[in-house]
Amino acid sequence: MADTGTHLTGPRVVTLAYDGLCTFEFGVSVEVFGLPRPEMGHDWYRHTVAGVEPGPMRAAGGLTVTVEGGLSLLADADLIVIPGWRSIDAPVPEPLIAALRNAHARGARLMSLCSGVRVLAATGLLDGRRATTHWRYIGTIGELHPTVTLLPNVLYVDEGDVLSAAGSAAGIDLCLHIVRKDYGSEAANTVARRLVVPPHRDGGQAQFIQAPVARARESPRLSTLFDWIRERLHDDLSIAILAQRAGMSPRTLQRRFEETTGLGPGEWVLQERMARAKALLEAEPTTKLDDIATATGFGSPSTLRHHFRTRFGSTPNTYRRQFSLRRTA
């Protein structure tokens, strides 16, 4: 797919295509940066697609993709979009890594959507920097690229020259963020209206993650403790109490929790309480916040609201309304 109009003079956006292409994320990039938008003027984005391999390339959904150019197109890019990669642990070809590094050194911004962070991390440009990806891939990317600081509770991360989005739909949020930075809020709002999506979403992907699950190597003793905690979220669950229940010292329990879940006991309990609170807000729309706060161990609605604002950038009532609308839509 070449530029939609030779008269355009805006930033050149190149979206990658590859064998095993993730169709949704690819479509998001094309939708935001590649569609004709005459209302935006002549300085709107110029968009093209670069093939990582010779075509035709397979894409999710039984599609095949052919493109007009290869990695040489990255040499003129101002922004390069990396859709979800074909597999979170699939190797990244060296020619692609080299082309991305060269483009970045020349001043291009690099942006990954969902599992596309696998490609971005392989370049080394995320080392010592922040990034995100879909919550399902956080552990794998953390093991493959331990020097990357992964933020699991956000929709996207903007580090200026390298950007990353969480799940597939979060790619829309990040693309609109780019439009907002490049052309202002009014332009981003216009594109959002065309997409029939909010121009900005509150909160982060943590709103949509189910209750945390321990890693496969957790011991039976901790597994039993996890079940015990989930049955008593309304109680005092200090580390001293948890250590006594597990038959460990507080220091040992802290270490075992971090090795097993990646979190300390207090943080893990807090996530469990938040998950329970969200479940109650979804399932019991008429239950008072006082009762939900008590049932989940927060004690008061103000404490529950504080943690919702801190974690999700939202409120319990906003969350409840959003899921109520989903049920009636």
216 contacts 281 by C-beta, under 8 angstroms: no
Predicted local distance difference test score (pLDDT) of residue 143:
92
Predicted local distance difference test score (pLDDT) of residue 164:
95
**Edge-first strand listing for the sheet containing 12-17:** 46-51, 12-17, 79-82, 109-112, 162-165, 156-158
CA distance 148 to 253: 26
Same CATH fold assignment for domains 12-207 and 210-328: no
Predicted local distance difference test score (pLDDT) of residue 135:
86
Comparing C-alpha atoms, which of 104, 111, 131, 137 is closest to residue 28?
A: 111
Pick the CATH number of 210-328 from 1.20.1530.20, 1.10.10.10, 1.10.10.60, 3.30.300.30: 1.10.10.60
Task: Going from the first residue of the chain to its last (329 residues), give the mean pLDDT of each consecutive group of 10, the final group possibly shorter.
Answer: 62 95 94 90 93 88 88 96 93 96 97 96 95 90 92 85 90 90 84 76 50 47 84 93 92 84 84 87 84 94 90 82 55
Q: What is the pTM of this model?
A: 0.63
CA distance 246 to 241: 9
CA distances from 293 to 114, 155, 276, 278 (A): 33, 26, 10, 11
Predicted local distance difference test score (pLDDT) of residue 282:
76
Predicted local distance difference test score (pLDDT) of residue 310:
82
Predicted local distance difference test score (pLDDT) of residue 260:
73
Residue 283 exposed, middle or buried by CB count within 10 Å (0-12, 13-18, 19+): exposed
Domain boundaries of the chain, sorted by first residue: 12-207, 210-328
CATH 3.40.50.880 fits 12-207, yes or no: yes
Please, what sign has the CA dihedral across residues 218, 222, 224, 226? negative
Predicted local distance difference test score (pLDDT) of residue 211:
44
